[in-house]
Amino acid sequence: MAASANKKRAAPTQASGSAAKKAHLDVVEKKQKRSQPVTRPALTSGSDSEDDEGVWEDVEEEEEAQAQAQDEMEVDGGEQKQAKDPQAVREAHRAQKVVQDQRKAAKPHSTLLADAKRVWSLARQKNLKPPERQKHIHELMGVIRGKVKDIVFKHDASRIVQTVVKHGKQKERDEIAVELKGKYKELAQNKYSKFLVSKLIKQCPAHRASILLEFQNSVLRLLLHREATGVMADAFELYANAYERSILLRDFYGKEANLFSLTSGSDEDKERAKKGLVGVLEGADTERRRRILDATREGIINIFNNSDKGAVTHAIVHRALWEYITAVNAIPEDDHREKAFREIFETCQEVLAELVHTRDGSRVVREFLAQGTAKDRKQILKVLKPHLSKMFTNEDAQLVVYTAIDVIDDTKLVLKTILPEIQSSLDELYPSPQGRRVLMYLLTPRTKRHFTPAQINTISETDSIRGKTSKKDAAAREAEIRTGVSEALLSWIAENADKVVRDPGGSLVVTEAMLYADGDKTAASAALVSAVAHTYPSTDAANPHLIDLAHSGRMYKTLLQGGHFNKTSRAVEKLPRWDGGAFAQAFIEAVGQDVFVGICTKGEKGGVFVAAEALRACPEAEKQKAVKWFTKDVLKDIKKGEFKGKGVLLEQLGC
């Protein structure tokens, strides 16, 4: 049954004809999804879907099958002798049908549900044209209007209401939202109607605040409820604005904060509410601040003490935790501040991997790293180590890795923890922007070539704390990390040069590694020049010569010129750990006369600039050998040609 459900949800809808397909796509909304914790295994297609129609179809089928089995037992008394007589079997089925009809008729609102299901079976068809679907939706709404609150808790009726919300217009959605007023907390805890609540929160923005207010004073309990926890998480992370999020967060601040919460709806109150815990503490005296912080701590600890309920992975919990830590950092008394920080860290330390996938959760773990002792930092690395490979490619989680590199003085511990995971994941890291940034941070942290100003500002948030809690000079720490990873990266390039430089992201990683890594680069350089020492132009259109690929061409030019070109100074920034001249000599020797001359005469995609740069950077003696390859006929062809880089090439050839 479960396998068939997954299959139904994973299978794409096949619309007949382009018009039908377009109509279908117009009514199917793109689903938003919460960020998933790095501790969660990869989900198969459709296994995390809330395609409730498919889920409920299976539930209904299962219930009907169970009812049928029960009826059969009642009809034949558990005996199988009727199976031998076809006439007896038919009679048993008729009796069974009568029992089923009587059972359905005895249920409340049976006539209403029968009428609604008849129309619903038409409205829910996948390939209907919009006008026809709206006709059925309008009729369906006419059947259930005024009775929504009475039938919505039944699993089949809840599907009917959800179809109206999904395919109906805003008028129908708002009408249903109004009818269900006062029932949302109960609906969120129901196995079936919880999906309806999420859809109304998403698609009825005018009623969203009033729906969320019904959860007030029960948010912490609902977060620990098996069914309601997903509704709370979706509402906070996917649909709510800043003010609506503050409604859900108020319960964390305790009953006193809720009693005096800002509920007038004025713009001034909304602006204060958006500040979260800081806004609640504004103007509070010392004693009241202490009570509110104590209540916030108890609410958070209650969530973390019930980590098996799954709420520790939700962004709403991470926001409350970060607000609490921010408030704790503002406590003027050192002893009280240290005690509060230590208590919350000890509560969270075993489940830190559940936090790193959200912005606030990542910031919390980074704060623990920055403020923690050497023992604390070692414990954090121990908890995170099994999940590092996933953290490397997660936008928020990788910030924790950067902070660990920045603040931990024991670089041997950092390398021992991170390097094995880096080595085992290199082939997955370099093609993705997130993965590449991790590799770049090990070599050239915070460079503007690979990190935006906003990213650099975010990474720098813990710098002020690092100055107080870390003893090692930042430059010395960076040098030790770079030295520790250099050998592994250079060996990887030496073994995989041809494959890696064909990828645009791979060529960026290779460029930085060759320019900034420490150690012997002979093998890696040899692999790079060997990768271009092939027939030019390539005889395989699907596998062009590396020089004809724009990204790899730029890589070779940067390595030949000895560093990156600085647009501000209008000059190449030479690096002490890289010899562009030696690479140019190896480049010319490896490619040989035929390939080199072919690049200069047949190159159409920038290869001429690479060849010209190789001549410019090469030692004079080797350069003159290469110049002799260009006979009068070759030079004549070059002068007659119309291609970019001709002038630069002729200048290097002395023409």
What are the extents of the domains in the chain?
52-59+105-205, 520-652
**Do 318 and 366 form a contact (C-beta atoms < 8 A)?**
no
pLDDT of residue 317: 97
pLDDT for 265 equals: 59
Residue 147 confidence (pLDDT): 87
Q: Which residues pair with 197 in a beta bridge?
A: none
Q: What's the pLDDT score for residue 40? A: 78
CA pair distance 443, 437, nearest whole angstrom:
10
Please tell me the total number of residues recorded for the chain in this structure: 655
The DSSP letter of residue 432 is S
Cα 469 to chain center, whole Å? Answer: 31
Q: Identify the DSSP state of 50.
A: -
**CA–CA gap between residue 277 and residue 323 (Å, rounded):** 6
Cα 435 to the center of its chain, rounded Å: 13
CB atoms within 10 A of CB 307: 14
CB 591 within 8 A of CB 533: yes
Residue among 366, 318, 546 at smallest CA distance from 463: 366
Question: For tokens 């209401």, what's the residue?
Answer: 161
Give the number of C-alpha atoms closer than 13 A to the C-alpha of residue 363, restricted to the C-beta side. Answer: 18
Q: Note the pLDDT of residue 392.
A: 96
Number of neighbouring beta carbons within 10 Å of residue 295: 18
Both tokens of residue 318?
A: 């991470």
What one-character-per-residue DSSP string does 536-562 give? SS-S-TTS--GGGSHHHHHHHHHHHHT
Q: Report the chain (655 residues): mean pLDDT per 10 consecutive residues.
A: 42 43 43 82 44 43 47 48 66 75 61 83 88 92 88 82 92 94 94 92 94 94 95 95 92 83 62 82 87 94 93 96 95 89 94 95 97 95 96 96 96 96 94 95 95 96 92 94 96 95 96 96 95 86 88 95 91 92 94 90 79 92 89 85 81 82
List the structure tokens of 397: 């989680």
Reading the block at residue 476, the tokens are: 């010395």
**Quick one: DSSP state of residue 390?**
H
Q: Which pLDDT value is given to residue 128? A: 87
Residue 342 class from Cβ within 10 Å (0-12 exposed, 13-18 middle, 19+ buried)?
Answer: middle
List helix spans (H) across 349-471: 359-371, 374-384, 388-391, 397-407, 411-429, 433-443, 453-459, 463-469
Q: How far is CA 527 from CA 201, 419, 532, in A?
A: 57, 23, 9
SS (H, E, C) 438-505: HHHHHHCCCCCCCCCHHHHHHHHHHHHHHHHHCCCCHHHHHHHHHHHHHHHHHHHHHHHHHHHHCCHH
Could you give the 3-state DSSP secondary structure of residue 382? helix
Q: Contact 587/532 with Cβ under 8 angstroms?
A: yes
- In this structure, is the dihedral angle defined by the CA atoms of residues 346, 351, 355 and 357, taken in order, positive or negative? positive
Amino acid at 593: Q
Beta bridge partners of 571: 566
Q: Which long-range contacts (CB under 8 A, 24 or more apart) does 136-139 make?
A: 137/163, 137/164, 137/167, 137/168, 137/169, 137/172, 138/172
In the chain the first and final C-alpha atoms are separated, in Å, by 78
How many Å is the maximal CA-CA distance in the chain? Answer: 106
Predicted pLDDT at 264: 52
Report the alpha-carbon distance of residue 516 to residue 520 in Å, rounded.
Answer: 12
The alpha helices in 107-216, defined as continuous H runs, are 110-123, 130-144, 148-151, 155-167, 170-179, 184-188, 194-203, 205-213
pLDDT of res. 31: 62
Nearest to 373 by CA among 348, 409, 398: 409
The three-class DSSP label of residue 519 is coil
Nearest to 249 by CA among 308, 295, 204, 184: 295
Distance CA(82)–CA(88), nearest Å, equals 5
Nearest alpha-carbon partner for 502 in 467, 475, 540, 472: 540
Helix (H, G, I), strand (E, B) or coil at 534: coil
Q: Which of 530, 423, 434 is closest to 486 using CA atoms? A: 423
How far, rounded to the nearest angstrom, does the alpha carbon of residue 389 sit from its chain's CA centroid?
14
The rounded Cα 257 to chain-centroid distance in angstroms is: 34
